[in-house]
Structure 1
Amino acid sequence: MKASAVANKEFTIAKIDDRVYGAFLEHLGRAIYEGIYEPDHPTADENGMRGDVAKLVKDLNVPVVRYPGGNFVSAYNWEDGIGPREERPVRLDLAWHTSESNHVGIHEFADWCATVGTEMMLAVNLGSRGVDEARNFLEYVNHPGGSYWSDLRIKNGRKEPWNVKLWCLGNEMDGPWQVGHKDAAEYGKLAANTARAMRMFDKSLELIVCGSSNADMPSYPDWERIVLEHTYDHVDFISLHMYFFNPEKETANFLTMAEKLDTYIETVAATIKQVKAKKRSKHDVYICFDEWNVWYHSKEQDKKLLGGNSGWPHAPGLLEDVYNFEDVLMVGLILNTFIRRSDVVKIACIAQLVNVIAPIMTEKGGPAWAQTIYYPYYFASIFGRGTALDLKVDSPTYDGRYGDNAAYVDISGVHDEEGSTLTFFLVNRHGTENADVELSLQGFATGSVIDHQVMTHPNLEATNTAKNQDEVKPRKGEGATVVDGKLSVTLPPYSYQMVRVKI
């Protein structure tokens, strides 16, 4: 099978916002407790945070982490997570039918973010609470001092404000599973009032309003239109969520979910334009895709754990998908889509970061390791920063359950002008044929291939485990060359590759 592409220096999409490689941590399962926080672990620092996990996160260079939820935030009292640990209340979390110790709150999370070199993206509770609690939380986090909430922060050990800029106005409020679920108009009015109050404190905040929980919601895409009609000039982003699944074990169909993702983004981008035009606004709203990942491997296990007969356990092993090689391909396709949609998708958060549908796994008291999907996320985060190129790709296609005309060879390209490099991320969706790819580099003074990484495996079900952490990992590629301004590379069946060219 042959495929070709053109990368022209003048044909670009947008500057990629670094925050498109963000992540998410919720008080859910073992994401926080036994994930990032385990005071008795041999690698734990003075704050009880696992050093081995911190190292894996640092290596990813995660620009921003969303916290504390997720469904959890819709009944969360942020005040429970401040002050002396021994005085913090234990609460019942209705979202996940568990108990919450509140041993980790805003102070601990902020310190961890500083340790791993990331920024905070905080969510306020617009389910069971509202404007007052949101403005108080903002004052606690961002005001220098001399007020009730800021002075309480200082009393609790943090003199300087954290100056958090990104704030989520609730979570998945379109979902009937959400504590405090609202219809679009009801939520839109509350979100607008909350945004107005928060902007009275600081006009420079970046505010994110809830979009649809997924593209199959009965209210989609009217939800986006109605909510934005209430909030458009008061917010900067609308959030989208999507999870990717393959319980039928049909790889070709599974991989066409990237087409469904692209259509989802395109539809909401059009809705944003419609509302902007209707309001005659000069303001721009972008997409924050703040929950995305493959999620289906743990579903049956989770049904048993969430059955309601196990009491209210603290930090049970929920949503612990063990990712395989097939998931590498899907995650590569998702990240390629975000790069190609970088004109409208400015923030994205893989959900989640540790243990809960996550690229990083841990054992209590034991090791932490990279799951298979860690690697495409790593390559995109480290090398996918710069300007997205508008590639012209000519590839054979196929039709699948979630989208038609899916290119067998899926490619995204990034021009890092500062680093004088071109980086291409390539996925071969064909299960039996090699793809010989020729990529014409127009307008670039091309040099040679400086890095070539390949991920492939004879077993799509292959996983990384605590005892065998390197079963699925990248290897150095061979045969990628640049001759006469053309990059040539061969992609094995069902493979993911990254090729970097010095220019």
Structure 2
Amino acid sequence: MDPAFVVAPVNRRVFGSFVEHMGRCVYTGIYEPGHPTADEDGLREDVLDLVRELGVTTVRYPGGNFVSGYRWEDGVGPVADRPTRLDPAWRAVESNAFGLNEFMRWAVRAGVEPMLAINLGTRGLQEAVDLLEYTNHPGGTTLSELRVEHGAREPHDVRMWCLGNEMDGPWQLGHKTADEYGRLAAETARALRQFDPGLELVACGSSSRAMPTFGAWEATVLEHTYDLVDHISAHAYYQLHGDDHASFLASSVDMDRFIQQVVATADHVGARLGSDKRVDISFDEWNVWYLEQKVGDAPTAPRDWAVAPRTSEDAYTVLDAVVVGSLLITLLRHADRVTAACQAQLVNTLSLIRTEPGGPAWRQSSFHPFALTSRHAVGTVLDLRLDAPTLATDRHGPVPLLDAVATHDADSGRLAVFVVNRHPSEPVSFTSSLRAFGGATLLEAVVLADDDLTATNTQDDPDRVVPRGHPDASVAGEALLADLPPASWSMFVLDVT
């Protein structure tokens, strides 16, 4: 590590999350009127406390697949007058008791920046500009005065907007070809910029690197939108397959390749168009998600439509938390091009935080690497040189045994080092040179690891999986030394002033 060699400043938007009307993320998640901790708006204070502790900076709303069939007008105005709709994305009944203005009040309370997604599935350009006018225009027009009438006197001033969601997916309402979507996204972007040229806009990239259209989709969409958007989205979910722990612990290798390939595609389109502009990546959906082993999923029969069903409420293990920590390492390592990211989702549904209706809220195992990384990864990301043996994996081939990133904050003199040992059963000795810093003091060293890789946090045992003090980390001369347990995530914070 050397403070003279950097990747880019840490963009705080990388520590974003995602609130979708999916399962219990909203209802009995962030919003539950009548809960013992609920405020006058029905927002759960116990969840708000955990969101602030988590260090979330940006939250994407209201979807996700949900947004492609959503009518934003349903979620504003007097709650008693709002329509109840069927949500085909998650086969649920949507009451619309929680909508745009409730989310904005929640965002203010949580201290997060809102990122809004626009329905370009069943709706289009007119609805998008109407939503922008309602949301951001100060007043004096029909839609802006309607917002004032609805209790939001000041404009919400949302700066970041997603032009649809996963429009390449056949499962998406209003699924389109790349040309169809690219043209609609370009028309919408032009219209939005006529209202406010300073908006930040995100075009839909492929919904997965495994999509058969991946690469070609990004290229075609960007040919339509390159000079009109600031970001192209990337989405990725990972899970343990059988007992292949080594491949699962190396999931970030796939994310790393995904980012490299999207960057290469975007830059190629920019070169072809002769543009000096650079399009960055909004990695606005990522997490561990057991798509093949869902627990408590929404029923599939039409007669079983339900209100806020328990959907994908994965109980995350020690192993899952280590992978989440490793994915954060990858996002930081690409700080020069990944300028926003949203862990999906925030509460209950494939979440960092769990709740029970009328009951407690608690931290999932994966809460901890996110919270600690958000708190300590500040300043600039250093351009590391890693020397490690390789580990054979079935899914990703040979991968480095270690995954690591470091950040340096010159103002505070703090150096933070995040390291994952990908070996599922063997410890590894770790040494990091500090000679470029001219001395260092170890301030904090923690490790998330356990002999039981399947251990989880539960309502009855919410602190079963927590980071603990590193038993043998030290600074000796010009080196940081530690023994890393198998399948572990570690963090070291040093004073290098």
Aligned-partner SS, 1:393: coil
User: Residue in 2 aligned with 1:85?
Assistant: 79
Is residue 435–residue 490 contact of structure 1 (8 Å, CA) maintained in 2?
yes
Alignment of 1:148-163 (within 5 A): 148-163=142-157
Report percent identity of matched pairs: 47
Q: Distance in 2 between matches of 1:496 and 1:276?
A: 38
Q: State the Cα distance separating 1:310 from its structure 2 match.
A: 4.8
Matched, 1:502 2:495: yes
Separation of aligned partners in 2, 1:226 and 1:330: 32
The answer as to whether partners of 1:298 and 1:321 remain within 8 angstroms in 2 is no
Distance 1:75 1:375 in 2: 34
Which residue is equivalent to 2:449?
456
Change (3 A) 1:297 1:193: closer
- What are the residue-to-residue correspondences of 1:286-365 with 2, within 5 Å? 286-296=280-290, 299-302=293-296, 305-308=298-301, 310-365=303-358
Aligned pairs (5 A) from 1:25-64: 25-64=19-58
Q: Count residues in correspondence.
A: 496
Structure-2 residue corresponding to 1:408: 401
Aligned match of 1:124: 118
Q: Secondary structure at the match of 1:418?
A: coil
| Number of the residue aligned with 2:90 | 96
Q: Which amino acid aligns with 1:360?
A: I
Q: Per-residue deviation at 1:254?
A: 1.2
Contact residue 446 and residue 501 of structure 1 kept, 8 A: no
Partner of 1:240: 234
Whether contact under 8 Å (2:162, 2:202) holds in the other structure is: yes
Deviations 1:450-493 (A, max 9, x none): 01111111111100000001110011223222232211111111
Aligned counterpart for 1:391 among listed residues 378, 384, 388: 384
Are positions 1:173 and 2:157 aligned together? no
Q: Which 10-residue stretch deviates more, 255-264 or 185-194? A: 255-264
Q: What is the distance in 2 between the residues matched to 1:489 and 1:195?
A: 50
437-446 or 236-245: bigger deviation: 437-446
Find the aligned partners of 1:166 and 1:301 in 2 and give their Cα distance: 33
Aligned to 1:485: 478
Is residue 262 of structure 2 the alignment partner of residue 262 of structure 1?
no
- Contact (CA 8 Å) 1:14, 1:388: kept in 2 or not? yes
Q: Is the 8 A contact 1:15 1:388 kept in 2?
A: yes
Taking the aligned partners of 1:50 and 1:395, their CA distance within structure 2 comes to 46
CA distance in 2, matches of 1:172, 1:327: 25
Q: Which runs of 5+ in 2 are unaligned?
A: none
Residue 224 of structure 2 is aligned to residue 220 of structure 1: no
Higher mean C-alpha displacement, 305-314 vs 462-471: 305-314
Matched to 1:295, the amino acid is W
Letter in 2 for 1:222: A
Shift of 1:297: 7.0
In structure 1, the residue corresponding to 2:453 is in which secondary structure?
coil
Match of 2:131 in 1: 137
User: Matched residue of 1:392: which SS?
Assistant: coil
SS, match of residue 314 in structure 2: coil
**Contact 2:204–2:233 (CA<8 Å) still a contact in 1?**
yes
Cα deviation 1:331-377 (Å, max 9, x = unaligned): 11101111111111110100000000001000111110000000011
Residues 367 and 428 of structure 1, relative CA distance in 2, 3 Å threshold:
same
Q: Contact 1:247/1:296 (CA < 8 Å) preserved in 2?
A: no
CA contact (8 A) 2:434 2:440 kept: no
Is structure 2 residue 451 aligned with structure 1 residue 432? no
TM-score (norm. length: structure 2): 0.98
Q: Distance in 2 between matches of 1:355 and 1:489?
A: 35
Partner residue in 1 for 2:180: 186
SS of structure 1 residue aligned to 2:465: coil
Q: Distance in 1 between matches of 2:301 and 2:236?
A: 26
| Alpha-carbon separation, structure 2, partners of 1:445 and 1:162 | 47
Find the partner of 2:104 among 94, 102, 110: 110
Quote how far apart the aligned CAs of 1:385 are: 2.2
CA distance in 1, matches of 2:76, 2:464: 42
Structure 1: which 5+ runs fail to align?
Answer: 1-6
Give the partner amino acid of 2:333: R
Query: Secondary structure in 2 aligned to 1:463?
Result: coil
Give the 3-state SS of the residue equivalent to 1:439 in structure 2: strand
